[in-house]
Structure 1
Amino acid sequence: MPEQTRRYRSARREQSAAQTRQDILETARDLFITHGYTQVTMGHIARSAGVATKTLYASVGTKTQLLHALLAVDVADSKTTGLYGEVLRCKDLASAVTCLAHGIRDNTERFASSIDLLHSSMTSDDKARQVWEYVVTQYRQALRDIAQHLVALGVVAPHLDVDGTADRLWLCFGLSAWRSLVVDCGWSYDDTERLLARQAVNMLEDPSPA
């Protein structure tokens, strides 16, 4: 009986520690996004999370380790590259772009806090900058794969090659396009998705070379 009691208490402590860590991560994310990574101290995070500074360090390590833990949790689950398989089943430009716009919108909205976090920290943290560069590289490659499919189908303007199509997709659906409308202009994701999809179709059908 005493041994069972110890195991029960141990499991309860582990569960409590996991919840404390989760609370700390969520608090830190909110503070980093609101005030900027460089402006937030571990003391700020501890006070906002309602834990002792000693507990904070024991749970997540240093400030840099805390940031890396957030990035690992938030970015690792992105499914941007999986869009290719969905768009591949589309046989005309309008349906392919509609599918692409909706898939990217889903990722962009789902990972909005991650994108904000990277924006607030990548100028002062090399790891955050590396993660951002990795995300952009993967994103652009996914769009290039889709551009290759659209060119092969013959649904874009004849003067557009894979690079030209990929560049236009990036202009329409790159991270800055969504942030400009949603964050800077206050648009809804629904309106942004519709506008960017129409813009992409118009640019890819435009018969005049740029």
Structure 2
Amino acid sequence: MNLVPGQVKRRYDASGRRQAAEANRQAILEAARELFTTRGYAATTVKDIAERAGVAVDTVYAVVGRKPALFLELVESALSGTDQAVPARRRDYVHAMRGEPDAGRKLEIYAGAIGDIHRRLAPLLRVAQTATHVEVVDIWQGIADRRAANMRELAQDLLGTGQLRPELGVDEIADIVWATNSPEFYCLLVEDRGWPPERFTAWLGDAWRRLLLA
């Protein structure tokens, strides 16, 4: 393109389009969360989500994807506490735990993080429990498997303090924490038995101390 003398070529600024796309993404995820948790996964269509978010159906597919992708995005956001998926090793509480030399304090930090995570994740657990779709079952199983792998890393970190019961090995430590930090366990006590979330968090940290520390 030939410029007129003295004319400056303008650079294309895509920030406005990125902001609009992110706003659409947030509206879509909020709509999906609301509809999944009130109507259920099966009864919610992509068309319903698009209408609630105020966007076209094609926009839902382009920005996030099909229903399984929407559900996975919601689960990942609940786990990270942000609007994006964040690997466990990069989360703030994991950095805090790794920097803490005392095993009991590590467990307290983790119990607090679990309480926060499950406040966000519990409604999605109910969605998964009532959904018979294979894709939802697979997503939830994948999260459980990933959590189990992460617990082995946590067990190694705890053993490194030299403060755990000597008869406990990596597998048993990982399994104990994996079972008791599950969203299912949280819902049993907080939603089904009516425990305040703060009580659950305090109890969990104390229970881990009693079960694991020498």
Please say whether Structure 1 and Structure 2 have the same fold, judged by a TM-score greater than 0.5: yes
Structure-2 residue corresponding to 1:201: 209
Alignment pair present for 1:165 and 2:173 = yes
Structure-2 residue corresponding to 1:88: 98
Given candidates 4, 26, 34, the residue that maps to 1:30 is 34
Q: Distance in 1 between matches of 2:99 and 2:22?
A: 42
User: What displacement does 1:70 show?
Assistant: 4.3
Which runs of 4 or more aligned residues in structure 1 lie more than 3 Å from their structure 2 counterparts after TM superposition? 11-25, 41-47, 78-85, 110-121
Q: 1:90 to 1:36 in 2, by over 3 A?
A: same
Aligned length: 193
Q: Distance in 2 between matches of 1:12 and 1:152?
A: 49
User: What displacement does 1:194 show?
Assistant: 0.5
Q: Distance in 2 between matches of 1:183 and 1:176?
A: 10
**Structure 2 counterpart of 1:97, which letter?**
L
- Range moving further from structure 2, 130-139 or 160-169: 130-139
Instruction: List aligned pairs for 1:40-189, cutoff 5 A.
Output: 40-42=44-46, 44-45=48-49, 49=52, 56-61=56-61, 65-72=66-73, 74-75=75-76, 76-81=84-89, 82=91, 83-121=93-131, 123-126=132-135, 128-189=136-197
Q: 1:141 to 1:12 in 2, by over 3 A?
A: closer
Q: Distance in 1 between matches of 2:19 and 2:157?
A: 48
**Structure 2 counterpart of 1:37, which letter?**
Y
Q: Distance in 2 between matches of 1:84 and 1:17?
A: 31
**Structure 2 counterpart of 1:38, which letter?**
A
SS at match of 2:155: helix
Query: Which protein is richer in helix relative to its size?
Result: 1
TM-score, normalization: structure 2? 0.70
How far does the alpha carbon of each residue in 1:54-108 deviate from its partner, in whole angstroms, 9 at most, with x for none?
x64233249x714413423551524544454322233333212101111222333
RMSD of aligned residue pairs (Cα, Å) = 3.6
Q: Distance in 2 between matches of 1:103 and 1:131?
A: 22
SS at match of 2:66: helix
Q: 1:139 to 1:42 in 2, by over 3 A?
A: closer
How far does the alpha carbon of each residue in 1:160-203 deviate from its partner, in whole angstroms, 9 at most, with x for none?
11111111112321222212222322333211110111111111
**Structure 2 counterpart of 1:29, which letter?**
R
**Structure 1 counterpart of 2:189, which letter?**
L
Q: Distance in 2 between matches of 1:95 and 1:142?
A: 18
TM-score, normalization: structure 1? 0.71
Q: Distance in 2 between matches of 1:14 and 1:93?
A: 43
SS at match of 2:42: helix
SS at match of 2:202: helix
